[in-house]
Each structure stands twice: as C-alpha cells, then as structure tokens.
C-alpha cells in the first residue's frame, strides 16, 4: 500500500536521494497529506474486504447452506463450499469491525480529517506531525491483530462487533471465543490509540493554528464537524479502552467484571463470578453511541461544503448548523441506553434514554432543513460530488426517520435486533456516510493528486450505487417489520420468517450489483491518479482555503500566507462579479469587509 | 441531465408512497415471488392483548414519519427540478438563512418528537413495569410466574410450578422448547439464562426481553388466540443461535390442564426428577 502512495506522490516529490530519505518522506512521513493518503488507501483496501464479507452474509441469507460458486470450495473445502454457522458469526463480526474501525473512521478522521484540517484552516501542517504519523502507524498493529483474529483456526472472532459478554468472555461458550477474541480486543484497542492520537492533534491544530482572520465562525462546517468529533472521541474513547482491558482481564486472568456467579457454559462452570454482563453494555455503548456520530458528523460537514459549492449559494443557517453539530455531540453522550431497552436495564432508565433519544433527532432534522434551504433558490450543478451529496441527503432522511421507530421504547420491543435496525444503520452509514465519502473523494481528488476523476464514469457509478443501495437496504425495513432477526445464519426454519426468502434473494442480488459497481469507482480512481486531466488550483470554483493552494499542495501547503476575510460559503455574493468569493480574496476597494457568515439577514 | 437526476430522486418519495400504501392496505409486496393482495404479512399476526398497542404505535410513527419523509423528499425533487443551473435563468437568491424559519423548524419537530416520547410511555410502562397482580386472600400481590424459562445454548429450558404452585420444588414439570400457555389469561414467566445472553422473542405477541445470566426477570403477556407460534432467540448466543428455536402453544385451559397432566405423568414414569434447574444433561 505504501508503495502505491509513493507512486502517487513521486511526481512532485521526486528527490532521488538515499533509500532512507525516500522512506522517511513517503512511508514514515510526517506530512499530513501523505498520512491522509495512507489512511485513504488503507481504508479503500479494507473497504473491499468489508464488502466481500457482506457478500458472504448476503449469500448465506439468500441461499442458505448452499455452496458458494467458485470461491466456496476454495475457502471451505471441508464443508463442500458451504458457509458453516460458526463462520457465519465470524462473517458478520468482521464485516462490522472492518467497516467501522478500518473503513469509516479512517476515511473520515484519518483521510479527510488529516487532509482537510490544515488546508482548510490555512496551516502548514498538523500541530504534532509525529503524533500524526504515529496515529497512522498504530493502525497497522490493529490491521495485523484483527486480520490474525479473522484468520484464526478454526474460526475468527464471532461475538459480534459489540462483543457482548459472557459469550465473548467465556472461552467455552463458542469455538471463536478463545484466542481470536483476545486478538480482536487488542486490535480494537490499537484503533482506539490511533483515534486518540488523531483527536488530540485535530483539537490542538484547529484551536491553535488557524490562519490570520480565520475566526471560529469563519471555519468551514467540515472543520467544525471534525473539531466536535475530536472532542467526542477524546472523551468517549477512554471508556471503551478501559472496558476492552477489563474484558481482556476477564478472559486472561478471570477477573470476572462481566461474569456473574454460577455461570455454566457448554457444561463447564465459569471459574470467576461476581460481575454483571450489563456493565459491559453500558461501557461499550457509552463509547459506541458517540462513535455513531463520529462516523456521521464529519460526513455531514463535508456534505455541507459540497452542496453549497454546487448550489452556488451560501449554506443556509451556518450558525444553526454549528449549534446542531454541537447539540448532536452533547446529546450523543446521554443516549447510549437506547441500545439496551430490552437488555434487562431498569425500564425507568429506558424512559429517560428514550426522551433524550427523541431529542437527538432534532438537530439532525434542523440540518436536513438547512440543506434543503441551501439548494432552494440556488443554481444546481449536478456534478458527481453533488449527486453523491444529494443522494446522502435523500438517504439520510430515510435513515434518520427510521431511527424514531427504535427510539420509541414500546415499538423497539418488537423491532429490536431485527432487520429493521440493520436497515436503519445501513441507511445512515452507507446511504449517509459512505455516499458522502465517495462524493468527497471525487471532490477533493483534484487537490490530492492534481488530476480530475472522470465525470461521466463517476455519474454512472453514482446511478448504479444509488439504485442498488436502495434495492439492498430498503427491503430490510419490510422484513424487519415482520420481525426478521439479525445475526441468524438460517432464519427460514421459523414459520414466521419462511416466506421472506425471495425478498432476501432480491436484496442479495442487489448487494452483488452494488459491490460490482464499485469496480467502476476503483478503475476511475486509479486511472485518474495517473492519466486524469491535470487541473489548476481551483477546478470547482470553490471558496475554501484549500483551493488557493497548489494542486497537489507541496510540503508546507501554501506558497503564500493566507489571510482570511470572510466565511467559506460566500457564493454568488453581490460584492463580486464572479459567483464565488474565495476566503482569501481581499474585499473590493472602498467596500466594507463582509462579515462572518451567519444568519444575520 | 438535471431533469434525469431530479426524476431519479423523485423515485425515492414514490417508493415511500408505495410503502405506505402497502402498509395501510396490508399488502405484502413479495410473497413467494408473487404478488399477493392482501396477504396479511406486513407485521406478523398479533394474537396478544397488549401487542395491538405496539402495532398502533408503529403505524402511528409510520404515518408521522411517512408524511415528513415524503414531504422532504418531494421538496428535494422540486428544488432539484426548479433550480437546475441548465434551466434556471433566475439569479441565485443570496441569503444566509432565516431566523424565523430556523425557529419554526426547530420548534415543530421538537414538539412532535416530545409528543411521541410522552404518547408512548404508557405502553412501555404496561409492557415492562406493571406486572400483573393477583389476589391472595385480601391482599393484591404480584402474580406468580406460571413457568420459568431458562435460556441455554441452544435451547429454552422450561420449568412449570407443580401442585404446590412454587417453582424450584421437586414437583416441578420440566420441558424443553415446548412452551404451553392457556389462552385469554395473563401469564407471567420468569426469565433466566444459564450461560450467555439470549433474548426471548415472541413475534406474534410483540414480546422481547433479553435473558441475562445472573439476573432474574419477569415477563408477562396474554395470548387471545389458540395456535402454535414461534419462540425466537433474538440475541446472539453463539454458533447455534439460529437453531435456538422454541414453540409456543396457546390452548384452552382444559387442553392446557390435559397437556400438563400428561406431561407430568410421563415425567413421573421416566423417573426423571432433576434436583434443580441448573442441571446438566
């Protein structure tokens, strides 16, 4: 992967010095842009892995116990190409782990956070370049540990990405609860360290290193989102890390934090006791619910950037957008219990969590209305990045609203742990975040590599992704309403669910189509990296500081000292003739400096 | 191309409308590969006393969110159609937002959300907090459980109280995966787990509760129709999670008594008298 990175950058950094110089420049680089590209490539690679794991799940749900053609006999020769029920648990555990920890979080924080923060605030680099490098290199132990956990014989970790004890703690409880689970826990801890190093860096950089004139309320919403996300991570992650170590101790030396008395799994009595399985759930979701917003807020920020740019109009309600992001982050800390409505938690506590959860839908609603307000009365250019972000908007409306069903405790009794929730979070994380990430790649690719991606191919990619994603995830609401449970290798034995097989086959065919569509994206990405048309500094005629730097920016980013005169969304301003007004452009002579963006009209 | 993309986005609210038409008309779109109207499979059959409340709430939220979903999606389509740069000659409306609108679209959803939250609290209290009671002598006490359900990899172990009305005594009736209850009666069960987390899910009665090792919980429901229904394990409990399948038989009090007596005599004949519920095979 690092060698590809080297290729990507060799054209403007070719130095031809000693091998050591080469490695320190491109592999163990302290430059935020190189680190961003490293994160991007890792995430893309793992995206392929995660997608293939998803296809494994879809295969089993559509054609249960039937041998996978071609690859089945290679993977599971002993079972005649079948997916075994043990391997099925590994499949969904690893799909979630890879997609969350190796794809979405690195895409958002690692790749785009790293790339955009210094460029958008007008800084030379991150505040702590070495920490930044470490945050990438801590991903590698995680890759190796989780990879080893996945490939463990006979089965990889299979406790779900939520890793609920006692299943994950008692080694007798499952064939995969031995070493693979320990490796998994250490792997996730390494991801945590990486994220923590990143978030300390992002906070410091955003507070300390803004260019002259870049006040907090002139920051692009992407930066606000990254800033709030970094705070979320910094406060929530230690809890997960501590919980992870507690689970490791439970497993290795029998501390029994999460194991109650007199527990007998698989006919052997657990040695430890005195613990409580629900404790893990509280600790886990105390991190993992904010993590949902860690996986969403930066995408919302980037979508704001792209939508305003291609609507040629200021973002509607900049300050309400900032307050919404903060509101989501604040409320995000007190809603974790909605994952536990039927867990055995005190039902009174369930009611309080329910009210908080209902309220967290509010800032998201405000954001949706503001995006609609942004495109209202604009001039819309349907470029590939714009299409992906409009797709996000459309899909996020579905994903956001379906959350209300689960927030309502009595309804949640029925749909908890069914495909309804699977539909919900795939609409948010795929229809939401992943579409924005793809749009963001199309949007910032010229800045990263100095070349454009192919637009017609990008639009075909969007069209097919949009159709197949709805074909895959929309019917999940329908089967979820029947009560179709998650994580079941073969639900069709149940009378209630037997008739859902055809619909599941339809979803699986769409999922195969969706994964196949991404080949277009991969082709476009790698082809454009080498042979795409070269671009100037500002191909999209956008306002942000990053568009005033060379494409790609050299070491130190800017070849002049950027001075900021206004907010980032002054498109179609009456002050200038052009329909954009870069943040660094001095106001015309004899005119007052335009103020902060804000809702002062 | 702007027209094409706008129309693509129009398919989303159309899909939404179709969904709600199907939901309201109780039409299941894909039944065995063929269309079937009406097939009565949108939500599974509800045979319980309290499930109707949950279904009504589900439909209520469906209508409410449906209106918002279709409204916002159509707005998105209209804006895309109208403000397409290729077709729209009007200048861009240069505005940074509107205080009034922000206030309107903050307060309205807030009120709606708060309303949903408060509106469904009673259903939650009934389902999880108000355990049915019975009269013993002159005092009203929480109803005694009929059966103790213990989740175990990968089966449901059941223990009915014998003649003494107490669970955990030598005259208990033991069964596996085969839960019988009398119809038209409030039934309380004790829910436990012996090893890992399980979840006791009765889709047709809209009941779900995780079974947590180390905790003893009470679950109550009332079935109003006789028949056989699925008991699903809804919390990942290991490789055999998919086959942890029980059967709920709802029958008249006479049938239930008959079944109980038969099972009891069979149990006595085989002299299978385990000492406690924690027995191993």
- Distance, CA of A11 to CA of A3 (rounded, Å): 13
Pick the CATH number of A312-532 from 2.40.40.20, 3.30.70.100, 1.20.210.10, 1.10.3720.10: 1.20.210.10
Distances (CA, A) of A518 to A1, A49, A54, A395, B267: 19, 12, 14, 19, 60
Whether B256 is in a domain gets the answer: yes
Residue A174 with chain B: CB contacts under 8 Å: 238-239
Instruction: Note the pTM of the prediction, 2 decimals.
Output: 0.92
Asked if A164 and B123 come within 8 Å (Cβ–Cβ), the reply is no
- Give the count of beta carbons closer than 10 Å to the beta carbon of residue B186: 16
CA-based nearest residue to B122, from B219, B43, B57: B57
Residue A84 with chain B: CB contacts under 8 Å: 239
Length of chain A (residues)? 601
Global ipTM: 0.91
Asked if A410 and B54 come within 8 Å (Cβ–Cβ), the reply is yes
C-alpha distance from A271 to closest chain B C-alpha (Å): 13
Tally of domains in chain B: 2
Check residue A253 and give its pLDDT. Answer: 87
Closest CB from A379, A387, A502 relative to B83: A379
Query: Is 60 exceeded by the pLDDT of residue A593?
Result: no
Integer distance in angstroms from the first to the last C-alpha of chain A?
A: 50
Are both B148 and B224 inside the same structural domain?
Answer: yes
C-alpha distance from A125 to closest chain B C-alpha (Å): 31
Task: Find the range with the poorest average confidence among A61-75, A451-465, A583-597, B149-163.
Answer: A583-597
Q: Domain segments of chain A: what residues?
A: 31-295, 312-532, 536-601
Task: Find the range with the poorest average confidence among B85-89, B145-149, B251-255.
Answer: B85-89
Residue A574, φ and ψ in degrees, nearest 5: -65, -15
Which of B88, B109, B128 is at the close of a domain?
A: B88
Residue with the bigger pLDDT between B11 and A155: it is B11
Residues 6+ apart with CB under 8 A from A42: A1, A102, A106, A110, A139, A143
- Distance, CA of A486 to CA of A430 (rounded, Å): 18
Whether B261 is in a domain gets the answer: yes
Check residue A68 and give its pLDDT. Answer: 80
Are both B176 and B81 inside the same structural domain?
Answer: no
DSSP letter (8 states) at residue B156: E
Closest chain B residue by Cα to residue A573: B94
Give the pLDDT confidence of A365-397 residue by residue, as tens digits: 999 999 999 999 999 999 999 999 999 999 999
Closest CB from A174, A394, A493 relative to B239: A174
C-alpha distance from A182 to closest chain B C-alpha (Å): 16
Asked if A373 and B97 come within 8 Å (Cβ–Cβ), the reply is yes
Residue A398 with chain B: CB contacts under 8 Å: 12, 16, 69
Query: Is 80 exceeded by the pLDDT of residue A22?
Result: no
DSSP letter (8 states) at residue B143: P
Residue B209 with chain A: CB contacts under 8 Å: 342, 344
Print the domain residue range for B23.
2-88
Compute and round to an integer the Cα radius of gyration of chain B: 26
- Stretch A33-61: mean pLDDT: 95
A483: left (phi over 0), alpha (psi -120 to 50) or beta: left
- Distance, CA of A283 to CA of A192 (rounded, Å): 14
Are both B151 and B258 inside the same structural domain?
Answer: yes
- Distance, CA of B42 to CA of B46 (rounded, Å): 11
Closest CB from A86, A167, A382 relative to B237: A167
C-alpha distance from B16 to closest chain A C-alpha (Å): 9
Check residue A24 and give its pLDDT. Answer: 77
Closest CB from A158, A361, A600 relative to B96: A600
Give the pLDDT confidence of B207-221 residue by residue, as tens digits: 999 999 999 999 999
Q: Is the dihedral of CA B125, B127, B129, B131 positive or negative?
A: positive
Average pLDDT for chain A: 90
Give the pLDDT confidence of B13-40 residue by residue, as tens digits: 998 888 877 776 666 655 544 444 444 5
CATH H-level superfamily of A31-295: Cytochrome c oxidase-like, subunit I domain (1.20.210.10)
Residue B33 with chain A: CB contacts under 8 Å: 502
Are both B152 and B230 inside the same structural domain?
Answer: yes
Check residue B27 and give its pLDDT. Answer: 63
């Amino acid at each position: 992967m690092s060698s590809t990175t080297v290729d990507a950058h060799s054209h403007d950094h070719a130095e031809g010095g000693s091998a050591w110089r080469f490695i320190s420049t491109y592999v163990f680089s302290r430059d935020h842009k190189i680190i961003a590209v490293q994160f991007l490539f890792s995430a893309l690679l793992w995206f392929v892995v995660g997608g293939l794991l998803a296809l494994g799940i879809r295969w089993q749900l559509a054609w249960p116990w039937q041998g996978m053609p071609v690859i089945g006999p290679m993977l599971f020769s002993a079972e005649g190409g079948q997916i075994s029920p043990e391997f099925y648990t590994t499949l969904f555990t690893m799909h979630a782990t890879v997609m969350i920890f190796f794809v979405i979080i690195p895409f958002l924080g690692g790749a785009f956070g790293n790339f955009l923060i210094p460029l958008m605030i007008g800084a030379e680099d991150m505040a702590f370049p070495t920490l930044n490098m470490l945050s990438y290199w801590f991903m590698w132990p995680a890759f190796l540990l989780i990879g080893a956990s996945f490939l463990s014989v006979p089965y990889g970790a299979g406790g779900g990405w939520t890793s609920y004890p006692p299943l994950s703690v008692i080694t007798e409880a499952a064939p995969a609860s031995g070493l693979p689970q320990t490796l998994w826990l250490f792997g996730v801890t390494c991801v945590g360290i990486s994220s923590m190093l990143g978030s300390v860096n992002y906070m410091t950089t955003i507070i300390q290193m803004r260019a002259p004139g870049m006040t907090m309320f002139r920051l692009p919403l992407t930066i606000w989102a990254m800033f709030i996300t970094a705070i979320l991570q910094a406060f929530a992650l230690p809890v997960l890390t501590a919980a992870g170590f507690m689970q490791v101790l439970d497993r290795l030396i029998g501390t029994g934090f999460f194991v109650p008395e007199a527990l007998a799994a698989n006919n052997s009595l657990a040695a430890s006791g005195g613990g409580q399985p629900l404790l893990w759930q509280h600790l886990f979701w105390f991190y993992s619910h904010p993590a949902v917003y860690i996986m969403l807020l930066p995408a919302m920020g980037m979508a704001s950037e792209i939508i305003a740019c291609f609507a040629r109009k200021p973002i509607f309600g900049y300050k309400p957008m900032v307050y919404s992001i903060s509101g989501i982050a604040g409320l995000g800390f007190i809603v974790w219990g909605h994952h536990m409505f039927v867990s055995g938690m005190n039902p009174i506590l369930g009611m309080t969590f329910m009210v908080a959860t209902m309220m967290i839908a509010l800032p998201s609603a405000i954001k949706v209305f503001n995006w609609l307000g942004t495109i209202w009365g604009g001039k819309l250019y349907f470029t590939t990045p714009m299409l992906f972000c409009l797709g996000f908007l459309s899909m996020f409306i579905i994903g956001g609203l379906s959350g209300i069903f689960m927030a309502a405790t009595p309804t949640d009794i029925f749909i908890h742990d069914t495909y309804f929730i699977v539909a919900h979070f795939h609409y948010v994380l795929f229809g939401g975040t992943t579409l924005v990430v793809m749009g963001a790649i199309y949007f910032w690719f010229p800045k990263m590599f100095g070349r454009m991606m192919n637009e017609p191919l990008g639009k075909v990619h969007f069209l097919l992704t949009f159709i197949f994603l709805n074909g895959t995830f929309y019917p999940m609401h329908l089967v979820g309403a029947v009560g179709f449970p998650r994580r079941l290798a073969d639900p069709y034995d149940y009378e209630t669910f037997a008739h859902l097989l055809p619909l599941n086959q339809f979803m699986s065919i769409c999922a195969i189509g969706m994964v196949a569509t991404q080949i277009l994206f991969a082709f476009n990405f790698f082809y454009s990296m080498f042979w795409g048309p070269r671009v100037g500094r500002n191909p999209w005629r956008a306002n942000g500081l990053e568009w005033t730097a060379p494409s790609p920016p050299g070491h130190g980013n800017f070849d002049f000292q950027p001075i900021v005169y206004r907010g980032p969304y002054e498109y179609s301003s009456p002050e200038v003739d052009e329909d954009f007004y870069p943040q660094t452009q001095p106001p015309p002579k004899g005119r007052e400096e335009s103020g902060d963006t804000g809702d002062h009209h | 191309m702007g027209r094409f993309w706008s129309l693509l986005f129009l398919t989303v609210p159309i899909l939404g409308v179709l969904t709600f038409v199907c939901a309201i008309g109780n039409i299941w779109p894909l039944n065995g590969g063929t269309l079937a109207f009406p097939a009565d499979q949108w939500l599974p059959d509800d045979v319980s006393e309290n499930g109707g409340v949950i279904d009504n709430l589900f439909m209520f939220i469906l209508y409410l969110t449906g209106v918002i979903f279709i409204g916002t999606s159509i707005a998105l389509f209209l804006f895309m159609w109208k403000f397409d740069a290729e077709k729209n000659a009007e200048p861009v409306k240069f505005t940074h937002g509107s205080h009034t609108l922000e206030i309107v679209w903050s307060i309205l959803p807030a009120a709606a959300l708060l309303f949903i939250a408060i509106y469904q609290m009673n259903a939650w209290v009934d389902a999880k907090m108000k355990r049915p009671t019975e009269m013993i002598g002159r005092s009203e006490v929480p109803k005694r459980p009929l059966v103790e359900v213990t989740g175990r990899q990968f089966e449901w172990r059941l223990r009915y109280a014998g003649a003494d009305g107490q669970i955990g005594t030598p005259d208990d009736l033991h069964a596996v995966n085969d839960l019988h209850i009398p119809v038209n009666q409030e039934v309380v069960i004790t829910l436990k787990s012996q090893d890992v987390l399980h979840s006791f899910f009765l889709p047709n009665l809209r009941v779900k509760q995780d079974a947590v090792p180390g905790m003893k919980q009470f679950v109550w429901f009332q079935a109003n129709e006789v028949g056989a229904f699925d008991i699903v394990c809804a919390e990942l409990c290991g490789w055999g999670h998919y086959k942890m399948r029980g059967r709920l038989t709802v029958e008249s009090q006479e049938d239930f008594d008959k079944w109980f007596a038969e099972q009891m005599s069979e149990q006595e004949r085989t002299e299978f008298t385990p000492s406690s519920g924690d027995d191993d095979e």
